[in-house]
Amino acid sequence: MTENTKIPSFDLTRNYARVKEEVNVAVLRVLDTQHFILGPEVEALEKEIAAYLEVKNAVGCASGTDALVLALMALDLKPGDEVITTPFTFFATVSCITRNGATPVFADVDPVTYNIKSEDILAKITPRTRAVLPVHLFGQMCPLEEIKDELKSRGIALIEDCAQAIGAHRMIDGRVARSGSVGDMGCFSFFPTKNLGCYGDGGMVSIADNPEFAQRVKNLRVHGAGKTYFHEEVGINSRLDALQAAILRVRLRHLEGWNEERRIVAERYMTLFAEKGLLELITPPAELAGGRHVYHQYVIRAQRRDELQKFLDERGVTSRVYYPLPLHLQHCFSYLGYAKGDFPVSEMLADEVLALPMFPELLPEEQERVVNEIADFYGVGK
């Protein structure tokens, strides 16, 4: 690697090289069957994901967005119903609430973990609250043990947005509780850049222990049909295809190892930041006690963020901003009546966060170069 080589924010080609032969076998297996939509490969993946998460059921669908749509459809939301969520997340989290006819209610986030704050959730509950939709952002679980029992006692559904956090867990009641296993349902994305990504679009809904939810989501993903051409209700077309399922089955076998490699990359960043004297100028992500962060993204808070990003780009280091405008300030949600200043932590993070290169195959020398460039920008560590 030369100093002129571009360092990507992620590199799927390196990862593919590690599993190419296994993936080729899986794809050819599907091609030989000529069974491409749902079917045995999808059923096998659903069972394997359910076993990995330690939940009763998992239902494959076409994308992470559809997973959210389907989970919320299963709740039979009506106009006037409220769903509490975070304004500091990807757009789909909130658009899926509005697409189901409900009203998003925002609660601010923690400046250390970037995740929605439990006390803020509880403060926003009203008689109209039907669900809470926390996002396990950037690979770290929210401490759902702080709200789960209270929500259950009030009859409020807990739907986890796990799109960025497959494999993350918390210790709850003395056991490992993976993301997607704590709430009533969990929603996963298999977009190619995710920790467990396929080679196209894909998603899944995990259902902890409610067989009625599981059957409902299965029906809703095929136009609301309990059996072919007999429709109990109006659903959507959101089927996971067999090729993606076969690829995911291969990649699932490697997920734990890849997540550990991401954690090693994160530890190395921390060491390099300390060695360069950068910890007064940037704030690394923090792992909450009792949890396991799987670093879907490695997101720092940085002084003069926009200038730093431009500096890094000019020197061949790719970085990204997740997310530049909180959802309560997006034009399409202006009808909700929120204004600048309503969620100060989310707004502060939008001005400060920067995602550095993060993927299992990121080389130590690439990380050193990233950190050296950051040190050069701030004029420290020389």
- Tell me how far apart the alpha carbons of residues 147 and 130 are, in angstroms, rounded to a whole number: 14
In the numeric block, which tokens belong to residue 15?
Answer: 């990862």
Catalytic choice (194, 227, 340, 382): 194
- Give DSSP secondary structure letters for 134-179: -B-GGG----GGGTHHHHHHTT-EEEEE-TT-TT-EEEETTEEEET
- Tell me how far apart the alpha carbons of residues 268 and 293 are, in angstroms, rounded to a whole number: 15
Phi, psi of 15 (to 5 degrees): -70, -40
Region of 229 on the Ramachandran plot (φ > 0 left; ψ -120 to 50 alpha; else beta): left
CA 189 centroid distance within chain: 7
Q: Which residue has the tokens 């109209």?
A: 128
Catalytic-residue membership of 310: no
Secondary structure E strands in the chain: 57-61, 82-85, 103-106, 129-133, 157-161, 169-172, 175-178, 185-189, 203-207, 225-227, 230-231, 282-283, 291-292, 298-302, 353-356
- Tell me how far apart the alpha carbons of residues 374 and 93 are, in angstroms, rounded to a whole number: 32
Question: What CA–CA distances, in Å, run from 161 to 10, 85, 243, 312?
Answer: 22, 10, 24, 31
In the numeric block, which tokens belong to residue 177?
Answer: 């509780």
The candidate with the shortest Cα–Cα distance to 140, out of 298, 5, 273, is 298
Phi, psi of 227 (to 5 degrees): -135, 160
Catalytic residues: 194
